[in-house]
Amino acid sequence: MSLREISLAKHRVERSRRKWPTPVFLALIAALLFSPLVAHAVGGYGVATVLTSSMKPMLRPGDLVITVQTPADKLETSDLIFLVDAASHESYVHRIVAIRDDSGRLMIHTKGDANPVVDSAVALLPKTSSVPKTIASVPYAGAVITYFTSFEGRALSLALIFLSLLLIVGRKATSAISTQRGKK
């Protein structure tokens, strides 16, 4: 065996060790992208980003909250729930401070921990409805999601995907050229 053949064989072994299995890598990316959709569809789980400091010190702007759909009649005082203001269409997470029965419907009064007064808006819900109840929070993760849903974040994501595809194609082309040279 010539020195050139030994060198080529060694190069092939080294290259095969560091080669990423492309289908596995792409499957992992797809799983990360689609897992929130599946979790929501199957288990009623969701995520939301905290945008204001109304829940300080427990939740801060940029935190990510994980919610699960909970029957309204199972909610209790002190639960944190995710609501959307009917007038402004802004979403927020606040603590339940009072629940009252109003002819088969629930009147839910909420307040931000850092706010001095109870929210003026009252959630009026049928007992059979469900509400996203906060079950966990991840500090700062919401800021990352907020960034990647912005125009700049989407542009960066597309650029990273494009560069990854270029690297994969370039790697395959280099491998094909190297194989062709080795056959000559």
> pLDDT of 76-122, one tens digit each?
999 999 999 888 888 899 999 999 998 889 999 999 999 999 999 89
pLDDT of residue 125: 92
pTM above 0.75, yes or no: no
- The answer to whether residue 56 sits within a structural domain is yes
Per the domain annotation, does 6 fall within a domain?
Answer: no
Tokens of 179: 């194989």
The 3-state DSSP class for residue 143 equals helix
**pLDDT of 3 over the 80 cut:** no
CATH code at 134? 2.10.109.10
Q: Range of 69's domain?
A: 43-141
* DSSP-H helix ranges across the chain: 3-18, 22-43, 141-148, 151-183
At 144 the pLDDT is 86
| Tally of structural domains, the chain | 1
Classify residue 94: in a domain, yes or no.
yes
- Residue 169 maps to a domain: no
DSSP helix/strand/coil, 106:
strand
Q: Is 65 part of a structural domain of the chain?
A: yes
| 109 within some domain | yes
Determine the Cα–Cα distance for residues 101 and 126; give it in Å rounded to an integer: 10
Q: Is residue 170 part of a domain?
A: no
Number of alpha helices (DSSP H) and beta strands (DSSP E) in the chain: 4, 7
The rounded distance, in Å, linking the Cα atoms of 155 and 110 is: 38
Q: Is the previous residue joined to 61 through a cis bond, with omega within 30 degrees of 0? A: no
| Single-letter residue type at 173 | A
Identify the bridge partners of residue 80 per DSSP, sorted by sequence position: 95
